[in-house]
Structure 1
Amino acid sequence: MSAHLDAQQQRNQYANYPEDEHAVLLQADPDLVGRWLKGWALARDTAQPVAAHGGWRVDVGWPEQKARHVFPGLLPDIAELAHTISEPWIFLKICASAAALQAILPAHWIIQRPGYMMTLAASMPEAPDLPAEYQLDITLAQSISMVRVLTTDGEVAASGRIVFVDGLAIYDSIETQAPHQRRGLGRVLMKQLEAIATERGIKDGALVATPQGRALYASLGWELHSLYSTAVIQAPV
């Protein structure tokens, strides 16, 4: 199979990812997206967002993510911007469906795994008790606080961070390692992060979920705010 066909298959892998009609019609709140992005940049220790092309640009500076352009919807400037970019690892991230994003992009852009911007405006249900073979490790700081679930040997089983921007709690890098999944650790982790927000008097939360994480967060009282689609030009293999 040719490299061109491989790239085309990769491009189309997520463009037709099934979404319910309600999800496709949801429109993101630009203010919420902007505050979430500020928090994301703070949590990831990158440059702060700057206004660009009707959305924001973040100079990320990672080897496989030089920069990201984030938009609260499918704005007219996106197609023009996409045509000016030819170098790899500059990301377009749009609060819209993957199919709608693909329709306005040149052929060399690849659609990546879908994401879901979600919000929390009420307290999560109670989490289960932490299994006896795990312990919590909580680091509180003014800018970024972290919760980790450790094994008795000190191995990180699950972890997550939380930052605060203009009255919004941004939950970031929520992850449970594969050998420790399906033990309720994600629920414990999220409840601990929420407790940190509550201590600061902040109830509203935002995050971007993967397809797998979306189900967990929905069970914890999070609601879908909008779709969150990504496209990138990858470096040739």
Structure 2
Amino acid sequence: MTADPHIVATWVKGWTLARETAPPCPYGDGFWVDVGWPQQKARYVFAALSPAFGELARTIDEPWVFLKACASADAMRPMLPARWSIQRPGFLMTCAEPMTGDSVLPEGYTLDVTRGAVSIVRVLDRAREEAAIGHVVVVDGFAIYDRIETRPEHRRRGLARVVMKLLGAIGEAHGARCGVLVATPDGRALYESLGWELHSPYTTAVIPGD
């Protein structure tokens, strides 16, 4: 599956806005982001495996610099020297229609919504503790979803569906015509149940640190 470079570029820009990092900089046919976190110094993101990706894999020797590409792990692995470790699989997904299915906030939970450049939806339990959360930012007509999480003790109650549907409504209100996110294997099933489609595999490699 070949990723659309425009979708990838828009997702990278949205990710940096949602995470409040430095903006992406072009690097070859991909992007470089100065992330600046202890266990993620920087990331390079590519819409496909390319000579620029291969050159980075050969020359980078420091830990916590991430290489990411819209490609399968099997395709990426031959390009990586032995010092690199491939992380759990990811999936670049899109949703060009309103999300499907019902979402009902269970009894005992309340919503906390912050609208802004980065909008945040939280589900709080009876103790006003965070049970689930999600973020969305709109970039050039795309709603970029980020950090959709439900705490383990609150899972299997439909909270993530509530978060996603409300984030979707916020994105639409800000002119978004299509949603984009990167899903984990567990998250992929949820998003597909809401009408999202797989756009491409998304694989990450890093040199682990101590």
| TM-score relative to the length of structure 2 | 0.98
Q: Which amino acid aligns with 2:68?
A: K
Structure 1 segments unaligned to the other structure (5+ residues): 1-25
Give the equivalent residue in structure 2 for 1:27. 2
Q: Percent identity?
A: 58
Q: Cα offset for 1:76?
A: 1.6
Match of 2:21 in 1: 46
2:138–2:174 CA contact under 8 A, matched in 1:
no
Cα distance in 1, alignment partners of residues 175 and 84 from structure 2: 42
Following superposition of structure 1 onto structure 2, how do residues 216-227 of structure 1 map, counting pairs within 5 Å?
216-227=190-201
Does the CA contact (< 8 Å) of 1:117 and 1:208 recur in 2?
yes
Distance (whole Å) between structure 1 residues aligned to residue 95 and residue 171 of structure 2: 11
| Matches for 1:1-237 after TM superposition, within 5 Å | 26-141=1-116, 143-236=117-210
Computed over aligned residues only, the root mean square deviation of the Cα atoms, in angstroms, reads 0.8
| Structure 1 runs (4+) greater than 6 angstroms displaced | none
**1:99: Cα distance to partner?**
1.1
Query: Aligned equivalents of 2:56 and 2:132: distance in 1?
Result: 38
Distance 2:24 2:13 in 1: 6
**3-state DSSP class of the match of 1:32?**
helix
The letter of the residue matching 2:172 is T
Number of residue equivalences: 210
Tell me the distance in 2 between the aligned counterparts of 1:34 and 1:138.
28
SS in 2 for 1:60: strand
The range that moved more, 211-220 or 197-206, is 197-206
CA distance in 2, matches of 1:30, 1:223: 17
Q: For structure 2, list consecutive stretches of 5 or more residues without a partner in the other structure.
A: none
Give the whole-Å Cα distance in 2 for the aligned partners of 1:53 and 1:81: 11
Whose strand proportion is higher, 1 or 2? 2
